[in-house]
Amino acid sequence: MSNPSLLILAGDGIGPEVMTQVNRVIDWIGDKRGLAFDVSEDLVGGAAYDKHGTPLHDDTMAKAMEVDAVLLGAVGGPKYDALDFSVKPERGLLRLRKEMDLYANLRPAQCFDALADFSSLKRDVVAGLDIVIVRELTSGIYFGEPRGIIHEGNERVGINTQRYTESEIDRVARSAFELARRRGNKVCSMEKANVMESGILWREVVQKVHDEDYPDVELSHMYADAGAMQLCRWPKQFDVIVTDNLFGDLLSDAAAMLTGSLGMLPSASLGAPMANGRPKALYEPVHGSAPDIAGQGKANPIACILSFAMALRYSFDQGDEAVRIEKAVEKVLADGLRTADLIGEEGVEPVSTEQMGDAILAA
């Protein structure tokens, strides 16, 4: 059998810097754990535009469709701000998401004990927190028609349409239930069925998928506003939260802040199962290209390294290896190592991107 395949798109800004550290982890896993990957690397975003005049070359797109998983760094930067919308770096990422049809966006909110004081909430509310928000990513109000600003009488009206089909709800619900089975076996679905038709359908379809195919998973429903409140009050009551595109956008950003720094947060975007039964997948840190610190060796590589750990778990069935990486991250943080973004009041000396990589490999 051939090795599992991974396409690495480091992108722009701090993307290549943090990806260098991921490459070291991949080499380590090959050497020390006998787990070899067929890794290919290519360009995306501004880097691809500079070389090809497009933020994602067709050949790169074709490669992304073939591999077991794509790992992306970050795209964009001030150098590309003036570009036409059609060739902006972000369009490279949007094309990947669209053509790979990645409809389930997984955003873990995990709080390492050593960083619990970094949260805006009390330590006992967040310490040990480990939840995942599954956000529907390809439909809903951001895409629904009709949309636009129209003239009505003597004023203008801004219109967006929230629209979900049964099959769109069904497939993202399945992603959430599958995920829950590998975790705490608990799903909370959030919508506004009290005031929205799409919310009524959402609740009905999620319940149906549960009753028919996932009765072993504990399912609850919550209105999204109450859910937002509960997320801030006592987030540890949740395991997996599944919600639509708009609510997921808000809830996952709020959940992110429970854990402290942007430099710590991984994500996965999953699509339909491939022939091997695993979903099409793209993994990336939540943070962007951070032009303000790019090229200075200051970036925190942990979000990108944890994104690779997610790939090990969800695309390669190597949950034990993922845990090994997460434990290493936990240890270096407990040992007091901090990149600049993780330093608050305490005033310790920050380590560089590479030093953080060294320490994680050693751990």
Annotated binding site for NAD(+): 77-90, 288-300
- 289 is a site residue for ligand ATP (CB under 6 A): yes
Residue in 129, 299, 351, 360 binding ligand ATP, rule: CB under 6 A: 299
Contact 13, 290 (CB under 8 A): yes
C-beta closer to Mg ion: residue 184 or 291: 291
Q: How far is the CB of 311 from ligand ATP (least distance, A)?
A: 18
Residues 6+ apart with CB under 8 A from 233: 125
Active-site pick, 31, 253, 320, 335: 253
| Side chain identity at residue 129, one-letter code | L
**DSSP codes, 62-112:** HHHHHSSEEEEEE---GGGTTS-GGG-HHHHHHHHHHHTT--EEEEEEE--
- Binding footprint of Mg ion, residue count (CB under 5 A): 1
Q: Which does 293 bind (CB under 5 to 8 A by kind): Mg ion, ligand ATP, none?
A: ligand ATP
Q: Is the peptide bond before 235 cis (omega within 30 degrees of 0)?
A: no
Q: Chain-centre distance of CA 57, in angstroms?
A: 23
Asked if 142 is an active-site residue, the reply is yes
Among the listed residues 298, 282, 307, the one whose alpha carbon sits nearest the alpha carbon of residue 338: 298
C-beta closer to Mg ion: residue 262 or 359: 262
- 303 is a site residue for ligand ATP (CB under 6 A): yes
- Binding footprint of ligand ATP, residue count (CB under 6 A): 15
From residue 263 to residue 302, the character string flagging contacts with Mg ion as x (rule: CB under 5 A) and all else as - is -------------------------x--------------
- 262 is a site residue for ligand ATP (CB under 6 A): yes
Tokens at residue 261, please? 């720094």
Annotated binding-site ranges for Mg(2+) = 225, 249, 253
Please name the residue ranges forming H helices in 182-314.
Answer: 197-213, 224-233, 245-258, 302-314
- 263 is a site residue for ligand ATP (CB under 6 A): yes
Annotated binding-site ranges for substrate = 97, 107, 135, 225
Distances from the Cα of 21 to the Cα of 110, 358, 361, angstroms = 21, 8, 9
Site for Mg ion in 163-222 (CB under 5 A): none
Q: Which does 313 bind (CB under 5 to 8 A by kind): Mg ion, ligand ATP, none?
A: none
- 81 is a site residue for ligand ATP (CB under 6 A): no
Contact 196, 247 (CB under 8 A): no
Catalytic residues, which ones? 142, 192, 225, 249, 253
| Contacts to ligand ATP by CB under 6 A | 14, 74, 76, 262-263, 287-290, 292-293, 299-300, 303, 341
